[in-house]
């Protein structure tokens, strides 16, 4: 791979109950374990950061495939849900992702074709493919 950009972040403190920041200061967040996992939930968590990154990256991929197909996405959006849970074997944890694509001005079938194409080219989709379950759903609203 010929790298076009490299992001950096540093985690300090107690990991999920610590702090994460980028060297340029654009991200500087207190982290906290979610209440559903026994924490106080008074901070961001890695799953939220992953969801935000995946949603933004997938939306850019969607816009790219639409541009190539000369299709106007109008007021499109992509939502991401990242779940964490124990692996089936009880050893460690795993993730699952649900992406919800909304393209209000396109017929459902055409929107699904664009979402499927975006899933083939999105770097996050390529990184997770075969590693964790990722579901892409097109919603009409």
**Which residues share a beta bridge with 18?**
13
pTM value? 0.95
Instruction: Provide, rounded to the nearest whole percent, the portion of the chain with pLDDT above 90.
Output: 96
Residue 19 has pLDDT above 80, yes or no: yes
d(CA 79, CA 52): 8
CB 21 within 8 A of CB 9: yes
Element (H, E) at 79: strand 77-86
């Amino acid at each position: 791979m010929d790298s076009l950009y490299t992001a950096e972040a540093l985690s300090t403190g107690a990991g999920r109950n610590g702090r994460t920041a980028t060297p340029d200061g654009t991200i500087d967040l207190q982290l906290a374990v979610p209440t559903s996992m026994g924490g106080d939930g008074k901070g961001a968590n890695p799953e939220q950061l992953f969801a935000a990154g995946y949603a933004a990256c997938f939306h850019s991929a969607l816009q790219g495939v639409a541009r190539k197909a000369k299709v106007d996405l109008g007021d499109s959006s992509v939502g991401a849900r990242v779940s964490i849970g124990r692996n089936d074997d009880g050893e460690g944890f795993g993730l699952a992702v649900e992406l919800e694509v909304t393209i209000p001005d396109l017929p459902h079938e055409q929107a699904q074709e664009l979402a499927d194409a975006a899933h083939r080219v999105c770097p996050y989709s390529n990184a997770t493919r075969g590693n964790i379950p990722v579901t892409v759903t097109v919603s009409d609203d």
